[in-house]
Structure 1
Amino acid sequence: MTQQLDPIHLTQSLIRCKSVTPEEGGALVLLEALLSKAGFDCTRVDRGGVANLFARWGAKGHVRTFGFNGHTDVVPPGDVAAWTHAPFSGDLENGVLWGRGATDMKSGVAAFVAAAVDFVRTTPPDGSVVLAITGDEEGDAVDGTTALLDWMEETGEAMSACLVGEPTCPENMGDMIKIGRRGSMTGWFRVTGVQGHSAYPHRAKNPLAALARLIDRLASHELDEGSEHFEASTLAVVTMDTGNPATNVIPAECTAAINIRFNDLHSGASLSRWLEEEADRAATEFGVGIELKVKISGESFLTPPGPLSDLVTRAVEAETGRTPVLSTSGGTSDARFVKDHCPVVEFGLVGKTMHQVDEHVPTAHIEQLKAIYTRILTDYFA
């Protein structure tokens, strides 16, 4: 009998790879060797200094291809002295695994790798299994999953459906499946006036007054009340700066930035036009110049409830006894790129400690996640 791949040991090995984005740290080298030995055709799809790995078991471009997507890069550990266990130790104590990436998301990658390897060894499917693993999810996300998808299109590789293994559960295993995400965009404002003495404000053009009025209007505006599958859109003011230490000087310039998380009632383009209109309005009222720069990190998207979410729901219910909520809450993920390739949903661990000091995960959750992923593969190819 073939020995099953232990996802806990694999998670430990991945944590010990210091893959702080965008460093590969040995994580993808380790996975490529393991998957190649298991019969997967592996290709490194590196781009822009970012390491990515594509692995396929089965025929290329097969009509029935189930894919998993995830990342092995992690955020920096912060103050190493504040950790109970060293951040790259992979220490295992009392049924808990510690280290940077334990939750987000080396455990998720280990679980779907272990599930895929054991599945194709024991019950070779009539179809293909694809693993698309990036080293650039926590960074700029320009040369990560997008590079993999670009390469797949160029070479005729394809997935029929995909599951992203990001942490999705708020409190307990099985709480939540993500079937979409809000869009995300950031706007930076630079307001230019005329410097002057604060005792003679009529001789200056105060950029702060214009910026304060603009930001108040933006922050006070209700973008919407939500839609069928999405929460209400939000706008957060994240910084306002002048760098002016003098109380008797009206500065010549100031800046601010806002971040918008938006639902399917908006697009990045429509919100950009609104920001431009409000900036022009404030500039005209106060006689100042206002420059706006916008970065759209991703548009909102939805995989409507249906076969894929039903498949994952059944597997989660069978292994956890919980019926997961279908949600579009939270931040962005690489699913925003995959959705242009094939239907995609997300399911993974409880995300309470991700990006925190002392990031950790119960080992029982990793085993449970592997069982869920195995059941998804079994049912998909049944």
Structure 2
Amino acid sequence: MSETDNQTTARQQATYQQQTLDLSIALLERPSVTPDDDGCQDILSKRLEQAGFACEFMYFGDKQAKGEHTEVKNLWARRGKGNPVICFAGHTDVVPTGDVNNWTYPPFTPTIADGYLWARGAADMKTGIAAFTIAAERFVSNYPKHNGSIAFLITADEEGPSINGTVKVIKALEARQEKITYCLVGEPSSTDTLGDVIKNGRRGSLGAVLTVSGKQGHVAYPHLASNPIHAAMSALAELTDATWDTGNDYFPATSLQISNINSGTGATNVIPETLEVIFNFRFSTETTEDELKEKTHAIFDRHFENSTAKYDIHWKLSGQPFLTAKGKLVSACQRAIKSVTGTETTLSTSGGTSDGRFIAPTGAQVVELGVRNATIHQVDEKVEIDDLGRLAQIYEKILEGLLLD
């Protein structure tokens, strides 16, 4: 590459970085603690409309009596009517800050220092949304008659219960037969350097609340009581030792973790009446929700067969596992990352759940690609400024790879 080409590339990178930084700051100044969007989507919709997107706000949840919108606010924006439909998905809501006095800089006063942009939501994931937007604007400017469609699905209900956000938007889109072909979720997927890891799937999450009911009594007279803790111990031991599956090339083995155990009155001489145990499965595509439930109940049925105590399990499925195998979307992401950063990308299905779990069941290919996740949900959340423009460039090259072929 000639010196002139190097100078041109440097100018382009500086432009990407400044544009993405400016939009990131505008979003980060809004204290959009879940499920409050606090005007972030209004900022995005105005820009997208100028780029030729048709923008639609979707509200789900309860309203106040005065008719004001207090529901979760969601933005669906689309440019084009043909296929394939490439959707950028993300969330404008952020987790609470905790004690603001513990922050080096005020969490909703975006601050540039030491090569980082500091603010709540800097990594998770307002800078990703800003990079989406800049990439789409520049791509549309360069290719106004591009193939297919570009879409944005932005919610303010990802960090909360996730019941009035992406899941409801997808249901509405499916009802009118509006399908997403490829989806890029801007979650912070990178580990050590930008683009070193992308998530091409996620494990399923199945939660359970176990309640064991016995009979309260005096510890000196155990024959007159039924201790729910003792009744559950052997079953819990087998549960935690069980092998649920061995995983596969994309997923680790399914795991179970007990996160909370609660029982007792606080007194040392009282056998409690009830025991509550909260546990969670993170499961691969090698097993199913029903298989996990059946195996769990079989363990407890066996251990409680001759017990005077009784058990009950309340189940909650937060998301099914999904996987986007190597194909057009994954390849486009890998090529774009390599072109911008020189990095060979690793595919991963690790981590928690994301809104990709609501989009993948429609048949869409889904990949998560964003900034580093080292400080997400932490005090002093921050992101490398140098990564912002490069992320926008990566997104734009993915658009080129999927819509210009």
Say yes or no: TM over 0.5.
yes
Q: In the superposition, relative to structure 1, how do residues 107 and 285 fare at CA in structure 2: closer, same or farther (>3 Å)?
A: farther
Which one of 13, 25, 32 corresponds to residue 19 of structure 1?
A: 32
Are 2:120 and 1:107 equivalent residues in the alignment?
no
CA distance in 2, matches of 1:107, 1:285: 57
CA distance in 2, matches of 1:340, 1:5: 37
Specify the alignment match of 1:35 in structure 2: 48
Please show how residues 150-299 of structure 1 align to structure 2 within 5 Å. Answer: 150-299=171-320
Are 2:312 and 1:312 equivalent residues in the alignment?
no
Q: In the superposition, relative to structure 1, how do residues 371 and 199 fare at CA in structure 2: closer, same or farther (>3 Å)?
A: same
Local SS of the residue matching 2:383: strand
Write the deviation string for residues 326-355 of structure 1: whole angstroms up to 9, x where unpaired. Answer: 111111111111112211111111100000
Deviation at 1:195, TM superposition (A): 0.9
Write the deviation string for residues 59-94 of structure 1: whole angstroms up to 9, x where unpaired. Answer: 2xx122211111111111111110001111111223
Which one of 342, 364, 367 corresponds to residue 389 of structure 2?
A: 367
Write the deviation string for residues 8-33 of structure 1: whole angstroms up to 9, x where unpaired. Answer: 11111111111111111111122112
- In the alignment of these two chains, the number of paired residues is 379
Are 2:96 and 1:76 equivalent residues in the alignment?
yes
TM-score (normalised: structure 1):
0.96
Deviation at 1:156, TM superposition (A): 3.6
Contact 2:217/2:270 (8 A) holds in 1: yes
CA distance in 1, matches of 2:163, 2:18: 32
Which one of 64, 82, 85 corresponds to residue 65 of structure 1?
A: 85
Contact 1:5/1:117 (8 A) holds in 2: no
Contact 1:240/1:256 (8 A) holds in 2: yes
Q: In the superposition, relative to structure 1, how do residues 303 and 166 fare at CA in structure 2: closer, same or farther (>3 Å)?
A: same
Are 2:72 and 1:50 equivalent residues in the alignment?
yes
Deviation at 1:4, TM superposition (A): 9.7
Specify the alignment match of 2:112 in structure 1: 92
Task: Structure 2 unaligned segments of length 5 or more: list them.
Answer: 1-14, 62-70
Write the deviation string for residues 93-131 of structure 1: whole angstroms up to 9, x where unpaired. Answer: 233111110000001111001101111122221221101
| Aligned residue type for 1:257 | I
Specify the alignment match of 2:8 in structure 1: none
CA distance in 2, matches of 1:254, 1:240: 7
Contact 2:264/2:270 (8 A) holds in 1: no
| Aligned residue type for 2:104 | T
| Aligned residue type for 1:31 | L
CA distance in 2, matches of 1:300, 1:277: 23
| Aligned residue type for 1:352 | A
Specify the alignment match of 1:379 in structure 2: 401
Contact 2:28/2:126 (8 A) holds in 1: yes
Write the deviation string for residues 133-176 of structure 1: whole angstroms up to 9, x where unpaired. Answer: 11111111111111221221233433221111111112111211
TM-score (normalised: structure 2):
0.90
Are 2:159 and 1:138 equivalent residues in the alignment?
yes
Task: Structure 1 unaligned segments of length 5 or more: list them.
Answer: none
| Aligned residue type for 1:177 | I
Deviation at 1:276, TM superposition (A): 1.9
| Aligned residue type for 1:71 | H
Are 2:315 and 1:302 equivalent residues in the alignment?
no
Local SS of the residue matching 1:173: coil
Local SS of the residue matching 1:105: helix
Which shifted more, 148-157 or 44-53?
A: 148-157
CA distance in 2, matches of 1:89, 1:63: 40
Write the deviation string for residues 246-286 of structure 1: whole angstroms up to 9, x where unpaired. Answer: 11111111111001101111111211122222232333243
Contact 1:4/1:118 (8 A) holds in 2: no
Local SS of the residue matching 1:345: strand
CA distance in 2, matches of 1:68, 1:5: 21
Which shifted more, 122-131 or 231-240?
A: 122-131
Local SS of the residue matching 1:274: helix
CA RMSD of aligned residues (A): 1.6
Local SS of the residue matching 1:294: strand
Deviation at 1:361, TM superposition (A): 0.4
Q: In the superposition, relative to structure 1, how do residues 285 and 163 fare at CA in structure 2: closer, same or farther (>3 Å)?
A: same
Contact 1:54/1:131 (8 A) holds in 2: yes
